[in-house]
Structure 1
Amino acid sequence: MATILIADDEKVLAQSLGMLFRDEGHQVGVALSGRDALRLAAENPPDVMLLDLRLPDMSGLEVLSEVRRTQPEAMVIMMTAHGDTATVVDAVKRGAFHYLNKPFELQEILLLVGKALEQQKLREEVTFLRERRHPAEGLEEMVGNCPAMQEVFRKVRLVAAAGDSAVLITGESGTGKELVAGALHRLSERSAHPFVELNCAAIPENLLESELFGFEKGAFTDAQQRKKGLFELAGQGTLFLDEIGEMPPHLQAKLLRFLEKRSFRRLGGTTDIQVGARIVAATNRDLRELVRQGRFREDLFYRLNVIPVHLPPLRERGSDTLALAGHFLAHFSRRLGRPVKRLAPAAEKAFLAYRWPGNIRELKNIVERLVILCPSEVIPVEQLPAEIRAGEGGPPMAGAFHIDEHLLGVERQLVLAALEEALGKKGLAAERLGISRHAFKRKLQKLGLGGEDEDEP
């Protein structure tokens, strides 16, 4: 459905055109004067505007110029019974898509509006691809000095060059999974191609399939023309599927087939389309548990988990909390044109003691609020939100004041990452860590991760 605005002082014609396009399923506005047209365009920006050259209060060319200034994406079709070459040239120079001489056939205007909508969609696709060709965030935007994050950075650099192998990024909400996906793309040979992203939890289930695979004209009731899906738009680039654990079962099967064959069909299509895009998936859910519950396909899990990358929660990253706070303080201070703010010692202590259940996303939002609301360059502890002053969110963060607890947390993350990479094989995990199987077994016992079971054959 498109939004169409008709501006013509011939009331019968304007109303007839309105009925025609409403019958086609579009949302229609009708204006009998230039000022009404501009008002309606401001209230509900049109996709296509049918604009008469002569209106009672102002010239159609004046209306055209104003619409092009305020609604540059609108496709304007001029209508006139007094057309001449000079007027047509002037209208095109001012940004008109096309023009029609009155009288005209209804089929003619339907065809012209259809072409305008098709061109508008092509423009949107080009904009979509340009915006995703070079994601802004890369490793330079990822702050972290703790061992677990240094391991993440090392792995990202290696994985970026690893061809088309699928990557599964895991971690709690707000830990920076989208940043890692963008860095993987930007550091790879695919960086000259699109970076296309989709949050599987943000789109209704009945629309997700057409969003991913696209559709042919007539594939269903509202399929008025062919639409490319995200697989096709990604081309030779990267397709980032966030919240993959929320993907419905029937689409999990289709995604698995794509990963196996590197081809798909649009909805209603009969031709296989080959695509070389790399799939990077992310989730804050425990996919192994979802597999055990029968809610996520085991074969798809192993297809996606070729290269696992786990992001630790902020509460396990020790002094990285203050490094990130300083990074965001500088960022928002510069953006708002203010002197760079810093935390007072007591505020730093409160930041370290807080558990940050929302991770980096929560920290970033709070820092932005502090930069806006705190009048002084040094932010005192009194300016912090009550939950941070009170140290809410659980016991003090590991690593804030107890170095032994922090080291245990880091060691636990490295051991779990090695086990995940080795698909649970303890001997292989020990090799990856550079220690003996016996030493690895002792570590598992110390960390409460098992180790009492008999050795693998």
Structure 2
Amino acid sequence: MSIPGLLSERAIILAPRGRDSQIAMRILDEAGYLATVAHDLFELVKELSSGAGLAIIADEALRNSDIKPLLDLISRQPAWSDLPIVLMTHHGGPDHNPSARMGNLLGNVTFLERPFHPATLVSLVVTAVRGRRRQYEARARMEDLHESEGRLQNALKAGRLGSWLLEAEYLKLTCSDITKSHYGRNEQDTFNYDDWLAAVYFEDQPRMQSALQRSLDTGVDLIIEYRNVWPDGSLSWVDVRARAICGKNGLVSSLAGVTSDITERKQAESQLRRLNETLEQQVEERTSQLRHKEDILRQSQKMEAVGQLTGGIAHDFNNMLTGIIGSLELIRRRLARGSIEDLNSLIDLGVTSANRAAALTHRLLAFSRRQSLDSKPVEMNHLVNAMDELLQRSVNESIHLQLRMASDLWTAEADPNQLESALLNLVLNARDAMPDGGTLVVETFNQQLDRSFTNAHENLLPGDYVVLSVSDNGCGMPETVISRAFDPFFTTKPIGQGTGLGLSMIYGFSKQSHGHVSIKSEVGRGTTVQLFLPRFKGLADEAEQSFQSNAVYAENGETVLIVEDDPHVLLGCQQALALEDIASEGVSSAEDALKRIGDNFAGIVISDIRLPGIDGLELLSRLKARDSSLPVVLITGHGDITMAVNAMRDGAYDFMEKPFSPERLVDVTRRALEQRGLAREVWALRKQLAERDSLEGRIIGRSPAMQNLRALITNVADTSANVLIEGETGTGKELVARCLHDFSRRKDSQFVALNCGGLAESLFESEIFGHEANAFTGAGKRRIGKIEHAHNGTLFLDEVESMPVNLQIKLLRVLQERTLERLGSNQSVAVDCRVIAATKSDLNALSKTSQFRSDLYYRLNVVTLELPPLRERREDILQLFEHFLQLSSLRFDREPPTLDRQTSSSLMSHDWPGNVRELRNVAERFALGLPAFKQAGTVSENQSLGFAEAVEAFERSLLSEALQRSGGNLSQASQELGMAKTTLFDKVKKYGL
């Protein structure tokens, strides 16, 4: 209980005889000191109990009196108090004043002989009051220290951190109740050093004792995680950290540390490891299921195609056979009768039917073979002009044929024979679409295709293309006919006038040429068919090359590199694979193969063993050295079987003995491609797992702002430059600071974080700079500060704007000179730490108003990282939410719930004043099965949005409703909205729809 200021410094005077009390009181009053007169010993004790700075007692007041109450009062004083007493005695000293010997019992006594000079009394009172004031100051410091100790204990309890102290000389362990609980002990249980060691799990005891002994011997920090056994036999994990305290002799006198229970974290890590271990098995199971479903789908498609094929062939051939059989039967009958007149007409009928059958057979073979093309440089204008006469004869007089040739047309790369057939087919189709006549236009022009177009089509690359266009103004085709126009045997022509193979063959030709074919048609207005063929990149006069498919490396790995020096065998292999739509490329030597195969080669290799120069076995060895998962199939003759078997042991996938059937080649190739695809998928999944701790896995977001932030972190992380991070509360400033540390060369040293806004100003200096022993009352031991603790590491100062201005000067000096002085010391200590500061305020503006030192601002502001609020990067909201949802589900041991459209819309339209921290809290609520927002997952009606946010929310809602009405069909939704399909696709991706 505190004493009022005047009472705490007043003098209590006890002089029962004469005028001594009045004289003393008048002297003190003139000197400005408050004094009170007590008339007896009982009243003196009472007044002293109310609070006093000193007591002035005449020796006669103690003679023959019961001074026990006074002695009891003095003995009950707290540790900080020592009441000053001025004892007035007679001349002659203690030898002549027996009562003066009572001073030994009273303690802090000063003798004043009577008569005395007033100045002497005043001097004694001044000294006593000054000493009494120091006692009160000591009491205040002790109370502050006790309060600070209480706050520390509360913080430790809040973080479930236990504290402990181990005295090195006697190995005496003192620990808190929380530490005991981490080892399964109750508060009342004893827990000494031997109990501590005995509780460590036997497998971890050598490691723990070694680390502890090393800290005691060398003074290094003790940081260790280990298992301990509770009295009930259960195991738990504990994290133990301690710092050595050295005595004056330089040896470790004690270890002071904390403990924390990390059992839940270890269980989560164990679950994550098990998940990683089973991931490959899950991938294999899913892949197996996918292959099974694909086999079923392929079989269904094959049966459908076979049914359509046999039906079309049977119908057309029955018609043709009817003509042939009928004409032959009539000829036989007439010859039997001896009538030979008019046989020519019957013969013509049979020949016509046979020619039609031959033409159909030719088309069937051309369609079914899908043989590799004889691609060459083609001057398309020259080819079209050469066919002009044929095309003119193919149309009737009512059709006007126009040729529109581009003057600067590029050279195309295609099979000229197939191109001529395709052009003739298109012209005949256009003719048949205009029975009453019209205009038919054949046009050529150049066209560049970008990724926005080619990504929507399989096996089509961005680049330059030469276009052959055939247009008519005939009857046109409805959408239902256009969607089936390229199907084999589909035709709208009358029976007997078409086989339905023309457009199907053109489609196959375009795909084999790595081109594209498109149809644009409108009922009643006409049709335009455009054939896109790739521009030839070589010289127009190049010699004819051997067969090459020019197959591109497919993303799924379906590319086969065949190494064979025999061109006939090479051609046969490529054609066999082409029949099964397997892309391949051929080379004649191992040297060429090594040049073709880069780091990102996604296919397989089929190689003959006998090759000029480097043979197939050496090629196998070199390829396996590059990529051990690359399947290599070897082709061998009879004498090479032993070598092939040895090659299998060295890593070859399979071998084939010459001669082999196309079916054998296709079967081995497919199995090798499947293995290659699975291996690359597992590799990709492993890479994703490895990248979880990468910068992209920690700084999440696809927005330009976050991409730029990651780039800046990458550029400055491994430098010593000071960094200032600016951003609103909850934007992730500490996460960015940790990334800067973890991706720097200082990552193996300490990352020390300090929230400047959470420290009392009186503790600021000792907390940051440290203090020596006895630097202030209660500072019994040396303690290093945060800066020194971060030596060789990183110091993160959050809310740096809250740092007192007077300490900003000291921090600036540390940054400039790389040295500091602990509180209570004049010795400089060298420090090397990187300083990362964070603020939610404008430090430049604060420096202009003298609330923050401008020189410190410029020193910290070497590199500035600005963290945008979540409302300014809405395209990252759903990705962040999914990330937090997965973490929360793992933490709560629950399956992550499905994110519905209503919640997605609410997330996108919310203003997020709490930024990423608020989003994480919402994800945790949603993972627990609660509404994402308090009002059933909707945004509060009172919450106002800016104009841009309101427009985005309206646009997202409009797109979502259109997609729901169209069943997710982008084409239908884009038509309904009057928006380009590519624009709609970009916005769907932006809003996460």
The interval holding the TM-score normalised by the smaller chain is 0.5 to 0.7
Kindly indicate whether the alpha-carbon contact (under 8 Å) linking 1:168 and 1:280 is maintained by their aligned counterparts in 2.
yes
Q: Greater strand percent: which structure? A: 2
For residues 199-225 of structure 1, what are the alpha-carbon distances to aligned partners after superposition, in whole Å with 9 as ceiling and x for unaligned?
A: 000111111111111100010001000
For residues 144-174 of structure 1, what are the alpha-carbon distances to aligned partners after superposition, in whole Å with 9 as ceiling and x for unaligned?
A: 1110111111000111022x21100000000
Larger Rg: 2
- Equivalent position to 1:385, from 928, 934, 939: 934
For residues 346-368 of structure 1, what are the alpha-carbon distances to aligned partners after superposition, in whole Å with 9 as ceiling and x for unaligned?
A: 11111111110010001111211
Kindly indicate whether the alpha-carbon contact (under 8 Å) linking 1:170 and 1:283 is maintained by their aligned counterparts in 2.
yes
SS in 2 for 1:395: coil
Supply the distance in 1 between the matched residues of 2:739 and 2:165 (Cα, whole angstroms): 38
Supply the distance in 2 between the matched residues of 1:67 and 1:390 (Cα, whole angstroms): 44
Aligned to 2:800: 244
Aligned amino acid, residue 770 of structure 2 = G
* Offset at residue 393 of structure 1 (A): 4.1
Of structures 1 and 2, the one with the larger relative CO (CA 8 A, separation 6+) is 1
1:304-383 matched pairs, under 5 angstroms: 304-374=860-930
The verdict on how the C-alpha distance between 1:77 and 1:177 changes in structure 2, with shifts beyond 3 A counting, is closer
Aligned to 1:6: none
- Equivalent position to 1:179, from 714, 735, 756: 735
Give % identity.
37
Correspondence 1:197 to 2:747: no
Kindly indicate whether the alpha-carbon contact (under 8 Å) linking 2:731 and 2:870 is maintained by their aligned counterparts in 1.
yes
Aligned to 1:141: 698
Aligned to 1:395: 945
* Offset at residue 400 of structure 1 (A): 7.3
Supply the distance in 2 between the matched residues of 1:69 and 1:328 (Cα, whole angstroms): 32
Supply the distance in 1 between the matched residues of 2:947 and 2:709 (Cα, whole angstroms): 21
For residues 287-324 of structure 1, what are the alpha-carbon distances to aligned partners after superposition, in whole Å with 9 as ceiling and x for unaligned?
A: 11111221001111000000000000000002211111
Q: How many pairs align?
A: 311
Aligned to 1:232: 788
Aligned amino acid, residue 748 of structure 2 = A
SS in 2 for 1:324: helix
* Offset at residue 402 of structure 1 (A): 3.4
SS in 2 for 1:191: coil
Please, which moves more after superposition, 334-343 or 255-264? Answer: 334-343
Supply the distance in 2 between the matched residues of 1:49 and 1:187 (Cα, whole angstroms): 36
Aligned to 2:670: none
Aligned amino acid, residue 206 of structure 1 = S
* Offset at residue 120 of structure 1 (A): 3.6
The verdict on how the C-alpha distance between 1:363 and 1:388 changes in structure 2, with shifts beyond 3 A counting, is farther
* Offset at residue 238 of structure 1 (A): 0.3
Mark the runs of 5 or more structure 1 residues left unpaired by the alignment. Answer: 1-18, 28-43, 51-62, 79-87, 96-112, 128-135, 375-381, 407-457
- Equivalent position to 1:69, from 175, 178, 183: 183
For residues 251-295 of structure 1, what are the alpha-carbon distances to aligned partners after superposition, in whole Å with 9 as ceiling and x for unaligned?
A: 111111111101101000121111110000000011111112210
Aligned to 2:840: 284
Aligned amino acid, residue 69 of structure 1 = Y
The verdict on how the C-alpha distance between 1:389 and 1:253 changes in structure 2, with shifts beyond 3 A counting, is same
Supply the distance in 1 between the matched residues of 2:744 and 2:888 (Cα, whole angstroms): 29
Correspondence 1:151 to 2:708: yes
Supply the distance in 2 between the matched residues of 1:68 and 1:330 (Cα, whole angstroms): 29
Aligned amino acid, residue 173 of structure 1 = T
SS in 2 for 1:220: coil
Supply the distance in 2 between the matched residues of 1:303 and 1:114 (Cα, whole angstroms): 35
The verdict on how the C-alpha distance between 1:337 and 1:287 changes in structure 2, with shifts beyond 3 A counting, is same
- Equivalent position to 2:254, from 98, 111, 119: 119
Aligned amino acid, residue 767 of structure 2 = E
- Equivalent position to 1:161, from 708, 718, 735: 718
Supply the distance in 2 between the matched residues of 1:118 and 1:207 (Cα, whole angstroms): 26
TM-score (norm: length of structure 1):
0.60
Kindly indicate whether the alpha-carbon contact (under 8 Å) linking 1:214 and 1:229 is maintained by their aligned counterparts in 2.
yes
The verdict on how the C-alpha distance between 1:397 and 1:198 changes in structure 2, with shifts beyond 3 A counting, is farther
Supply the distance in 2 between the matched residues of 1:392 and 1:118 (Cα, whole angstroms): 62
Aligned amino acid, residue 142 of structure 1 = I
Mark the runs of 5 or more structure 2 residues left unpaired by the alignment. Answer: 1-77, 80-138, 147-160, 168-176, 200-244, 262-692, 957-993
For residues 108-137 of structure 1, what are the alpha-carbon distances to aligned partners after superposition, in whole Å with 9 as ceiling and x for unaligned?
A: xxxxx998x96242x359x9xxxxxxxx89
TM-score (norm: length of structure 2):
0.29
The verdict on how the C-alpha distance between 1:238 and 1:340 changes in structure 2, with shifts beyond 3 A counting, is same
RMSD: 4.1
Kindly indicate whether the alpha-carbon contact (under 8 Å) linking 1:355 and 1:397 is maintained by their aligned counterparts in 2.
no
SS in 1 for 2:837: strand
Kindly indicate whether the alpha-carbon contact (under 8 Å) linking 1:171 and 1:313 is maintained by their aligned counterparts in 2.
yes
Aligned amino acid, residue 390 of structure 1 = S
Kindly indicate whether the alpha-carbon contact (under 8 Å) linking 1:138 and 1:180 is maintained by their aligned counterparts in 2.
no
